[in-house]
Amino acid sequence: MIAIRWIGCLGSTILVPFLQSDRFIVAYVVLVLVFFYNAFMGWVLVPRGSRLLRGGYLGFGMDISAITAFVYAGGGVRSEYFVFYYVLQVFYSVRFPGKNALLIPLWISFFYVGACVLSSGIALADFALIVHRLTWVPVLGLFTGIGVGRARAAEASLAVELRRTRALLQAAHAPTTSLTVTGVLDAVLEQTKRLTESDMAAVVVDRIEQHSAVARMSENEDAALASLVQLLRKNVRARDALIETQGPVTPAELADRLSVVPAEIRQFTSICAASIPGQRKDLGFVVVARRQEPGFEAQHYEALTAFLQRATLAIQNARLYEQLQAQVEELRSLHDQIVGAERLAALGELAAKVAHELNNPLASIHMYNSLLLEGGTTEEEQARLAKSMQEQIERAKQVVMEVLDYSRPRPLLREVLDLNEAVRYGLRLVQHAARPAQVTIVEKYVADLPFVLFDRGHMSQIVTNLTLNAIQAMPGGGTLTISTGTADGEVYFEFRDTGVGIAPEDEKRVFDAFFTTKAPGQGTGLGLAVCRTLIGQHHGRITVDSQRGSGSTFRVWLPPAAVEEELFVGTNPR
């Protein structure tokens, strides 16, 4: 409106000299006042948000006064400035909503007639012209009001649709923020209430596959909502009657379709339900209810069904995720059982060889004890024999403790290890099995190797399995060389035997579970498979190089501790 006033003032400045009146001074004074008023409003009042501008009454009073002054200066009835009343009517019909707009033609009529009377009076011949001009004022106001009303209705409708669309997009995204069925259903429940603006809501998912039925209700649930949900869950006819309506219904309308309706449900004014669609059958349903008027409308049902189309995918994904988690837990349990079974199998294989290792200290103890029983020994000799017996007992005890420590199940616990020390620690038990098999173990360790992040118990199991495999590959005895080193930024330890080797066609299968070339009853085919699994858990790998009749070399590659700490437990895991 400020810009319109500036344009009007500039145009009036040009037209004032052409007025068919002698009131030029009045016109110029009014122009000066309008200039100052418009500048003061545009530069002072509007930027500060002055209270004087609220409602638009100040602007209307100043504008109608300025136009009336120009009409007076222009000669009253003869002035062409009356057309600005039409502009005033159109603009303030938009500015003043409702009943205030109806008063504008009255004010314009009053000021225009007053200007004509004060300027030159109103002759009888001018009366018809004035009435004609003033008739168009309310007509313009009427058409402007209709247009403004429709525009505002369209704007309000568009705002509602935009709000619903925004809410629908937010609601469609909400269920995907959780990976559990209960979490998804809680999100569906919350967004359903928001979309439909309902007082209460409930979502029920029927039993599908391994999952049992799940029902979730809003926090403000009461006996009425519980009765409604129970009715729809137990009475298929009631559920179908409500869902097939495809829109909101009242308790009375629902009662007309059913023989029995719980009395608590009549507390609601409006009820709406929609099914949760599935690929083969509906997954369940969602029901919302209101206690107060107004009831649900058709757009509420449409928003609900559109939302449930997206929520279906989230519910199915959550079900699949929970099934996957259950299967992962089952596989983890089976893996632990296989690892334990392989450990026990290795213990069984070691039993005979450990018995030989225990037989030596027992034979020595028996001999020393016989000498003591025969008598005739000095006190110094008795002390020496007792000390020797104690040493043999400690030796036997150590062998037994190593067997028990190896067989005892323990959780995965990574720690920073010296690879050379860890391999030696793993050999403490299995080296006893090498003696009766006439296998010589040669250890070649490179000093100052980078540390590795590994579970000590798993390292023992890997070393034991690889050593037993090498011993079995040398039935007539031989040499097992165990060495460590670094290459290409990785740390490794290898087992090189002088045994029978592996056939080329079997080399790619030696790490497969239950694959074995041993005679029945002499192996489970799990040793190397378990080794590969345990090494993989520590971000390592195992390779094999073998020639038939010349022996085999198994090499275990591991990342240095600094790299693995970043991979597994660092602040920026890869």
Q: From first to last of its 574 residues, what are the pLDDT tens digits of the chain? A: 667 666 666 666 666 565 555 565 666 666 677 666 767 667 666 666 667 667 677 777 888 888 788 777 777 787 777 888 888 888 878 777 666 677 888 888 888 888 888 877 777 778 888 888 888 888 888 888 788 778 877 877 776 666 666 655 555 565 666 677 777 777 777 777 877 878 888 888 875 554 556 666 666 566 777 887 877 777 787 788 888 888 888 888 887 777 677 777 888 888 888 888 877 778 888 888 888 888 888 888 888 888 777 777 777 777 777 778 888 888 777 777 766 666 666 656 556 556 645 665 676 677 667 767 777 677 787 787 787 778 768 767 766 765 656 555 556 788 899 999 999 988 876 776 787 788 999 999 999 899 999 988 788 878 888 988 898 889 888 999 999 999 988 999 999 999 988 888 888 888 876 667 665 555 556 678 778 888 988 889 999 999 888 899 999 999 998 765 655 544 444 3
> Sign of the C-alpha dihedral, residues 508, 511, 513, 516?
positive
Closest CA to 276 of 246, 332, 315, 231: 315
Distance between CA atoms of 190 and 176, rounded to whole angstroms? 13
Distance between CA atoms of 457 and 346, rounded to whole angstroms? 14
Q: What is the dihedral of CA 158, 160, 163, 166, to 10 degrees?
A: -60
Distance between CA atoms of 135 and 422, rounded to whole angstroms? 106
The DSSP bridge partners found for residue 288 are 201, 272
Question: And the tokens for 294?
Answer: 């107004």
Query: 17: buried, middle or exposed (CB in 10 Å: 19+, 13-18, 0-12)?
Result: exposed
Contact 239, 228 (CB under 8 A): no
Contact 442, 423 (CB under 8 A): no
Contact 273, 304 (CB under 8 A): no
Using only C-alpha atoms, what is the Rg of the chain?
Answer: 48
Cα end-to-end span (Å), the chain: 62
Q: What is the pLDDT of residue 494?
A: 95
Residues 6+ apart with CB under 8 A from 134: 105, 108, 109, 112
Q: Which amino acid is at 156?
A: A
Closest CA to 66 of 37, 95, 24, 41: 37
Q: What is the pLDDT of residue 573?
A: 41
Distance between CA atoms of 245 and 305, rounded to whole angstroms? 13
Question: And the tokens for 258?
Answer: 């059913």
DSSP reduced 3-state for 236? helix
Distance between CA atoms of 467 and 178, rounded to whole angstroms? 48
Rounded to 5 degrees, what angle do the CA atoms 560, 565, 567 make?
100
**Burial code of 260-274, b = ≥16 C-beta within 10 A, e = fewer?**
ebeebbeebbbbbbb
User: Could you give all domains of the chain from N- to C-terminal order, each with its CATH number?
Assistant: 2-164 (no CATH), 174-324 (3.30.450.40), 412-568 (3.30.565.10)
- The pTM for the full model equals 0.41
Distance between CA atoms of 304 and 291, rounded to whole angstroms? 18
Neighbours of 537 (CB within 10 A): 15
Closest CA to 452 of 430, 485, 408: 485
Question: And the tokens for 156?
Answer: 């309000």
Contact 105, 141 (CB under 8 A): yes
The DSSP bridge partners found for residue 215 are 204
Question: For helices 456-472 and 379-407, what crossing angle results, to 10°?
Answer: 100
Q: What is the pLDDT of residue 451?
A: 92
* DSSP designation for 249: B
Closest CA to 228 of 246, 201, 205, 207: 201
Q: What is the pLDDT of residue 574?
A: 37
Rounded to 5 degrees, what angle do the CA atoms 420, 431, 405 make?
80
Q: In whole angstroms, what separates CA 181 from the centre of its chain?
A: 13
The DSSP bridge partners found for residue 203 are 216, 286
